[in-house]
């Protein structure tokens, strides 16, 4: 086994300084000697075989089970080396990766009942967990870092402002908190309600959010009530496929990754059906800079069952078939890496609390998840795309400078501490 480990890892790990101690105590060194030294140890022979035979699944499991130990550095450092090599998957595991690609449509088949079950797996965890590492507004998606060193809370506020600007909610209106028209906004996958409440409070929108998470549904409506916005921002426990209204604006942030490649045509057809003729839609999703692939089996099993990160080449044809026009695409590259770094650091600062809520294995699982996600954005081909859509030409301005103007208008409103809006008669 030691010889096999030496041979296979030598062909894969060619960058960095990586030391491996086998379960028999043999010390092996790999890489070109650059970067921060990292040292790991296999606790069992079974973990060695598992990682060699199925690295995409067994690597994470071995770390969760305490059979793969990091003795110098952190699991994030280990993953930075592993994901920073020339190939995404070790060459000896490419056959498995190819087979997973072939049956990915089956694993991403997400009818209503399965979608609810998948969402509950991740988003209906104990609410205390997310409060330990997210920002104060519980934004569980990529932040928008406008400048180096910006805090996570400020970057998440900037993300909401950036999205609101692209939705073009109050074109050419002064920053005085008055609106000639209340626009109806649908938030597909509304999370804990942060974006919807922002749009209601600072942009004067009438917001309907939908989620399949019972935990998020309860928290979002509770927050709306606390802010006095319950009549202007309501959140429903509902599948987007069952929404039956017309909206001036549609926004979806961090939800499209759960749709499944089989359902892209249906998602955009439904969106087109719900969007008013003069409406604007904005889709914010994790994406791949390269072509179609498959979901990591470890992520699918433990973190996001039924999930998939699309490439633009998979998304744009479905948009075209739905009759929607692409009016803007923006690619956010390292913003999510920085977001995940902040989440991981906050998570690690509260390990004792995580273990009190769950256990050590859960804590290692989430540390691995956050580290693997960060390094996938930092070292590989993941990014975030924001696609703006309309039904006809001329709905949004011809140049993008209106986005900056809208952001400045919203900053002014935020700075004034403008009180929450009330509907007439309240």
- Domains, the chain, with CATH or none: 2-102 (no CATH), 107-415 (3.40.50.150)
> Residues with Cβ < 8 Å from 41, sequence gap 6 or more?
20, 21, 22, 68, 69, 71
- Angle at which helices 152-167 and 194-203 pack, to 10 degrees? 60
pLDDT at residue 115 in the model: 83
Q: What's the rounded Cα separation, in Å, for the pair 139 and 194? A: 7
**Over its length of 426 residues, how does the chain's per-residue pLDDT go in tens digits?**
888 899 888 888 999 999 999 999 999 999 999 999 999 999 999 999 999 888 899 999 999 999 999 999 999 999 999 999 876 566 656 666 666 666 666 666 777 887 888 888 888 889 899 999 999 999 999 999 999 999 999 999 999 999 999 999 975 554 444 445 689 999 999 999 999 999 999 999 999 999 999 999 999 999 999 999 999 999 999 999 999 999 999 999 999 999 988 999 999 999 999 999 999 999 999 999 988 888 889 999 999 998 899 999 999 999 999 999 999 999 999 999 999 999 999 999 999 999 999 999 999 999 999 999 999 999 999 999 999 999 999 999 999 999 999 999 999 999 886 444 444 333
Question: How many CB atoms within 10 Å of residue 334?
Answer: 13
Q: What's the rounded Cα separation, in Å, for the pair 332 and 144? A: 8
Q: What's the rounded Cα separation, in Å, for the pair 414 and 187? A: 21
CA distances to 215, 318, 334, 351, 370 from 364, rounded to whole Å, are 23, 38, 24, 9, 10
248 burial level (CB within 10 Å; 0-12, 13-18, 19+) = buried
Whose CA is closest to 92, among 120, 52, 63?
52
Residue 328 phi, psi dihedral angles, 5° rounding:
-165, 140
Bridge partners, residue 326, by sequence = 389
Given a contact cutoff of 8 angstroms between Cβ atoms, the answer to whether 402 and 396 are in contact is: yes
Q: What's the rounded Cα separation, in Å, for the pair 62 and 23? A: 13
């Amino acid at each position: 086994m030691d010889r096999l480990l030496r041979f296979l890892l030598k062909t894969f790990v060619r960058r960095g300084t990586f030391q491996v101690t086998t379960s028999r105590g043999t010390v092996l060194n790999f890489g070109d000697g650059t970067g921060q030294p990292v040292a790991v140890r296999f606790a069992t022979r079974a973990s060695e075989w598992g990682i060699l035979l199925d690295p995409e699944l067994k690597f994470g499991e071995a770390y969760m089970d305490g059979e793969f130990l990091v003795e110098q550095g952190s699991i994030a450092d280990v993953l930075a080396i592993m994901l920073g090599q020339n190939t995404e998957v070790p060459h000896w595991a490419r056959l498995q990766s190819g087979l997973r690609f072939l049956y990915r449509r089956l694993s991403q088949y997400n009818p209503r009942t399965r979608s609810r079950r998948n969402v509950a797996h991740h988003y209906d965890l104990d609410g205390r967990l997310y409060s330990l590492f997210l920002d104060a507004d519980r934004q569980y998606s990529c932040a928008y870092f406008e400048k180096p060193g910006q805090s996570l809370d400020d970057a998440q506020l900037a993300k909401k402002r950036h999205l609101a600007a692209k939705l073009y909610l109050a074109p050419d209106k002064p920053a005085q908190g008055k609106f000639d028209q209340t626009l109806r906004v649908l938030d597909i996958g509304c999370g804990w309600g942060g974006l919807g409440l922002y749009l209601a409070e600072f942009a004067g929108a009438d917001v309907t959010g939908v989620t399949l998470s019972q935990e998020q549904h309860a928290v979002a409506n509770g927050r709306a009530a606390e802010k006095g916005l319950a009549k202007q921002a309501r959140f429903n426990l509902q599948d987007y496929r069952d929404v039956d209204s017309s909206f001036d604006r549609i926004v979806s942030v961090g939800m499209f990754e759960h749709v499944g490649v089989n359902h892209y045509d249906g998602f955009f057809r439904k969106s087109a059906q719900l969007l008013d003729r003069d409406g604007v839609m904005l889709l914010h999703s994790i994406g791949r800079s390269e072509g179609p692939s498959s979901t990591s089996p470890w992520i699918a099993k433990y973190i996001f069952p039924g999930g998939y990160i699309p490439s633009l080449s998979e998304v744009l044809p479905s948009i075209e078939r739905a009759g929607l026009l692409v009016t803007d695409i923006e690619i956010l590259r390292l913003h999510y890496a920085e977001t995940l770094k902040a989440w991981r650091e906050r998570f690690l600062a509260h390990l004792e609390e995580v273990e009190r809520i769950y256990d050590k294995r859960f804590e290692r699982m989430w540390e691995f998840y956050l580290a693997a996600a960060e390094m996938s954005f930092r070292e590989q081909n993941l990014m975030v795309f924001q696609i703006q859509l309309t039904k006809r030409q001329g709905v949004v301005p011809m140049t993008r400078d209106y986005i900056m103007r809208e952001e400045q208008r919203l900053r002014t409103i935020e700075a004034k501490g403008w009180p929450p809006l009330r509907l007439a008669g309240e």
